Amino acid sequence: MDAEEFRKHAKMAIDYIIDYNENIRNRQVLPSVEPGYLHKLIPSTAPAAPEDWSVIIPDIERFIQPGLTHWNSPNFNGFFPAGNSYPSIFGEILSAGLGCVGFNWMLSPACTELEVIVLDWLAKLMGLPEHFLAEAPGPGGGIIQGSGSEGILVALLTAKEKTVRQIKPLHPNIDEGTVKAKLVAYFSDQSNSAVEKACLLGSVRIRPIKSNPNGTLKACQLKNAIVEDRENGLIPCFNWEIPLGRRFRALKLWITLRMFGESNLRNFIRKQVSMAKRFESKIQADSRFELCAPVCLGLVCFRIVGEEFLTRELLSVVLDSRELFLNGATLHGKYFLRYAICSRDMDLSDVDKGWTIISNATEAVFSRHANKSQQVIADMTNANVNALKAGISR
């Protein structure tokens, strides 16, 4: 593919992305394929001769789209937002097109320095203390990690190394291995499993702290655990990153922050929060449901009042419809559903549609069990009548 072919085919790819996003509401949010479906559609070997882009891109629709869960659909309300926007797509294209590999500053000064700058921007937008900034005196500054799990592991390894360096001068006769064996990390029992995985990979013992009924953690609970562990001879503790090569990921953040601006980002967050509050009001107005935790930003946690199996069945019915995506979780042994505001294009009408799907699915669950109860009563009645007849005939 030469430059002119790339220019022509890039427009075709951009048009495809735009059409996909503009019509994503019309797509079933969950795929209906079976595991291994793609092996039946795509050859087992690569083509011997080159194929034209005009032949390849229709196969995206034919083969790939049927197996996608549409994370950016307004009907995707599970897990968390995928963080997709047109400005970030610009950044992705430019990052791939420029093809930088930032081993160090010399190999790509802009790649290194832009990341430092835009993460200071982000820290300021979030209102973090000044000592988190690279521009401030001290060891502050941030870096873009490949994933949340990777970020947690890097933070743990950093805390581990920092603690060892603090302890060794105070106790020079203790070898490094002994110090590391005493390190302990603290986290809420509601933390993502990535925290526990990081501790396992980092060889640090874990101390989950029991959260309150609403899922939050109080400072006094953490303090008590730290005091107890210190009395038992343990050392509380919780490399910039693991990979050496780096993509020019800061471009995505730089372009997104510039094209949105602080005011539009703030308005976007407020819009997401208002939609979550809309869904919360529907839960509160329906006696069949209860909230399981205070609504936080764009996340609403709820369940059907009563036995756990009803909420589990509700999730099953909703997912089977392929019209809406939710996911379940457990808080202190109580199963509930998570309704998250994820899509950037979501509006109040999508909240209302999602609520209708959930409400109708709940009615179906209740109806199913009402019919079962009626059948059990009928069977018991028939059994009693037959027993009575048998007694009379005797």
pLDDT at 241: 44
Confirm whether 192 is a catalytic residue.
Answer: yes
Q: CA geometry: angle at 45 spanning 37 and 40, to 5°?
A: 15
Which tokens is 371 given? 């019919």
Give domain limits for the chain: 1-68, 148-236, 269-378
pLDDT at 29: 94
pLDDT at 244: 47
The CATH classification of domain 148-236, taken from the options 3.40.50.300, 3.40.50.150, 3.20.20.140, 3.40.640.10? 3.40.640.10
pLDDT at 370: 80
Can you give the C-alpha Rg of the chain in angstroms? 27
Contacts of 291 (CB under 8 A, 6+ apart): 280, 283, 284, 300, 301, 302
Q: Per this entry, what is the length of the chain? A: 394
pLDDT in tens, the chain (394 residues): 889 988 999 999 999 999 999 999 999 999 999 999 999 999 989 888 888 888 898 999 999 999 999 999 999 999 888 878 899 999 999 988 888 877 778 888 898 899 999 999 999 999 999 999 999 998 889 888 888 888 899 889 988 998 989 888 888 888 888 888 999 998 888 888 888 888 888 888 888 888 888 888 888 888 888 899 888 888 887 644 445 455 667 888 888 898 899 999 999 999 999 999 999 999 999 999 999 999 989 999 999 999 999 999 999 999 999 999 999 999 888 999 999 999 988 999 999 999 999 999 999 999 988 866 455 445 545 555 455 555 555 5
Q: How far apart are CA 358 and CA 29, in angstroms?
A: 15
**3-state secondary structure (DSSP) of residue 325:** strand
1-68: CATH architecture: Up-down Bundle (1.20)
CA-wise closest residue to 291 among 311, 315, 271: 311
pLDDT at 239: 41
pLDDT at 240: 42
Q: Which member of 192, 224, 327, 382 is catalytic?
A: 192
pLDDT at 389: 55
Which tokens is 241 given? 């990153």
Q: How far apart are CA 162 and CA 238, in angstroms?
A: 10
Per-residue burial over 29-58, b if 16 or more Cβ lie within 10 Å, else e, is bbeeeeeeeeeeeeeeeeeeeeeeeeeeee
The top-level CATH class assigned to 269-378 is alpha beta
